[in-house]
Structure 1
Amino acid sequence: MRREFGGVGLALMLFGLAPVSSVQAAPVIRADSFLKATFKQYNVPVTGEFKQFSGDVNFNSKAPEKIQANLDVLASSYDLGDAEYNKELAGPDWFAANQFPKATFKVTSVKPQGDHYQGEGELTLRGKTRKVQFPVKVIQSAGKQIFTGKATIQRLDYGVGQGDWGDTSLVDNAVVVEFRLAVATPGQSK
């Protein structure tokens, strides 16, 4: 009997992002950050959240081209709110978390574009690396830089959803990764 659940937030990832400063990179403040992935199963949106990730960002709005930002996401931490679904997603048909325990995202550039930045990075998931483009907003708030945005990735580009799950009439190929990453403003402590 086939389990119905959804496939994959990938993301991963991700999507991550965050820009730079002329100082040392600041670690992501996990308690004030999130990384979600939404896919459609039978055309019904399903959202899960990656519960374990870390990263750092070095961003200066006066020199955004010098951004340095990295995100590591524990593949097995994708949570749909059901232990059986989570176990299935960590398995070989989806994230293959035993073989590929983490996804990584590295920002390679950001460029000002109106009231936001246009970012680009490289997402590695299940051993495959692809370029990802995404809009990102940067807000200064209470001694923090907060980076928010969304990116759409194609899960099959990363081999996520094997066997019957490769059928995009069951689980759509597009996955929307939404992120909020907070770091201490350069020169500030957490």
Structure 2
Amino acid sequence: MSKSTSYHIVTKSFHWLTALLILAIIPLGMIANDLPFETDAELARKAWVFSIHKTLGVTVFFVALLRILWAVTQAKPGPLHPNRKAETFLAEVIHWVLYISLVAVPLTGWIEHAATSGFAPIWWPFGQSLFFVPQSNAVAGVFAGLHWMFGKLMIASILLHIAGALKHQFVDRDATLRRMWFGRANAPVVAPHVTHFGPRVAALAAFALAGFAAFAFGFLDRHETTVAATALDAVASEWVVQDGEIAITVAQFGSDVSGSFADWTSEISFDPAPADIMGDVTTVISIGSLTLGSVTSEAMGADYFDAETFPTATFTAQIKPDGDSYIADGSVTIKGVTVPVQMPFDLILDGDTAQMTGTVTLERLAFNVGESQTSAANLGFDVIVNISLTAQRGA
């Protein structure tokens, strides 16, 4: 138990361990955000620093939970100047803001990470996902904004906490700081700390206000792409697509990053009667409609899809029989580069309804996508494209 003159050795250990972790994490996050990523080496360095930041953040989360569980079972010495009501109240509020932020900041960052795939894995061995968090760019954006805003609140409370400790040490010249240091505190005996709910309520209110500010000032869409998706014109088609998906998967640092295009059109003609050529297809894709995990914005950049200069990609092909299935024999144009492509696909016909599924692997460097990333260990060369759709004839 904590004594009336100082804190328990376990409490002190938790305090200084947390302080060291936080003082490492904050600059690591700032440095990682500012690091360039134009080359293989730069991208690897940026991901490495972010992985350290995230891994230490998860460590802080668990250390904070243990610290809070320990703290609620322990009595602690009361304030040395209980007659200073306002100062004591403010100190308690700051302490509770710190307690909450030590859980809220790493947890929101962890949820952001779990909600979207790609870039800078957490090095703890329990995987990259959380069972209650869906894979969703919208969820990731909300928690990225909360992580950023709560982080600013945590930094402010840390600075106030340090300022208070320095005031006690050099202005008041009392034993406040010595009580939290190791060894004998030589501090006066004081009454045990009395718990008040006011500081806790004020701390919770501060977080509620920070969350509202994040919403009001648009910080909850931090995973939105900075490139507006080009709207596509409707097409007249013999077979009209009712629903479907064009999804892509690429390996980054050994982990799959998957995404899909929200806006695309297909003009399809097809006659199921046996023939050497059974039809043709032209698909236009709005590049800016892509969501690709945590690297969506980067994928729109000049070195990758360059969505501002090349807002669409096109696939044109003739449909041919291929044994018991079919093959789309044609080409793909991305970033103004056209490459021949053959895509095998399966087709299920039910009257005037057709269900199609197909997969093709594209080599990104053939389209000048990610030319600065020449190492497959950082960014895989192969991009797997999975297509599925349901179309209705004459709809």
What TM-score do the two structures reach when normalised by structure 2?
0.39
Tell me the residue number matched to 1:44.
255
Q: 1:66 to 1:117 in 2, by over 3 A?
A: closer
2:344 and 2:358 in contact (8 A); partners too? yes
Tell me the residue number matched to 2:300.
90
Give, as a single letter, the amino acid of the residue that structure 2 aligns with 1:144: T
Matched, 1:70 2:282: yes
Between Structure 1 and Structure 2, which shows a larger proportion of strand residues? 1
**Secondary structure of 1:65 counterpart:** coil
**Secondary structure of 2:302 counterpart:** coil
Q: What are the within-5 Å matches in structure 2 for residues 8-87 of structure 1?
A: 25-29=238-242, 32-62=243-273, 63=275, 65-82=277-294, 85-87=295-297
**Secondary structure of 2:320 counterpart:** strand
2:280 and 2:319 in contact (8 A); partners too? no
Deviations 1:113-150 (A, max 9, x none): 23211221110000000011111111124742122100
Tell me the residue number matched to 1:100.
310
Give, as a single letter, the amino acid of the residue that structure 1 aligns with 2:304: W
2:324 to 99, 112, 115: 115
Give, as a single letter, the amino acid of the residue that structure 1 aligns with 2:336: G
Q: 1:117 to 1:157 in 2, by over 3 A?
A: same
Q: What are the within-5 Å matches in structure 2 for residues 135-174 of structure 1?
A: 135-141=344-350, 143-163=352-372, 165-174=373-382
Q: 1:57 to 1:151 in 2, by over 3 A?
A: same
- Higher deviation after alignment, 119-128 or 73-82: 73-82
Q: State the Cα distance separating 1:27 from its structure 2 match.
A: 3.1
Give, as a single letter, the amino acid of the residue that structure 2 aligns with 1:131: P
**Secondary structure of 2:379 counterpart:** coil
Cα distance in 2 for residues equivalent to 1:55 and 1:110? 13
Give, as a single letter, the amino acid of the residue that structure 2 aligns with 1:56: E
**Secondary structure of 2:360 counterpart:** strand
1:76 and 1:86 in contact (8 A); partners too? no
Matched-pair identity in % = 28
2:361 and 2:383 in contact (8 A); partners too? yes
Structure 1 unaligned blocks of 5 or more: 7-23
Q: State the Cα distance separating 1:45 from its structure 2 match.
A: 1.5
Tell me the residue number matched to 2:387.
179
Q: 1:156 to 1:183 in 2, by over 3 A?
A: same
1:135 and 1:151 in contact (8 A); partners too? yes
Tell me the residue number matched to 2:4.
none
1:129 to 318, 326, 338: 338
Cα distance in 2 for residues equivalent to 1:28 and 1:166? 37
Give, as a single letter, the amino acid of the residue that structure 1 aligns with 2:388: R
Deviations 1:50-103 (A, max 9, x none): 111111111111146141211000111111244xx2121111111000000000
Q: State the Cα distance separating 1:112 from its structure 2 match.
A: 2.0
| Greater Rg by CA | 2
Between Structure 1 and Structure 2, which shows a larger proportion of helix residues? 2
Give, as a single letter, the amino acid of the residue that structure 1 aligns with 2:260: E
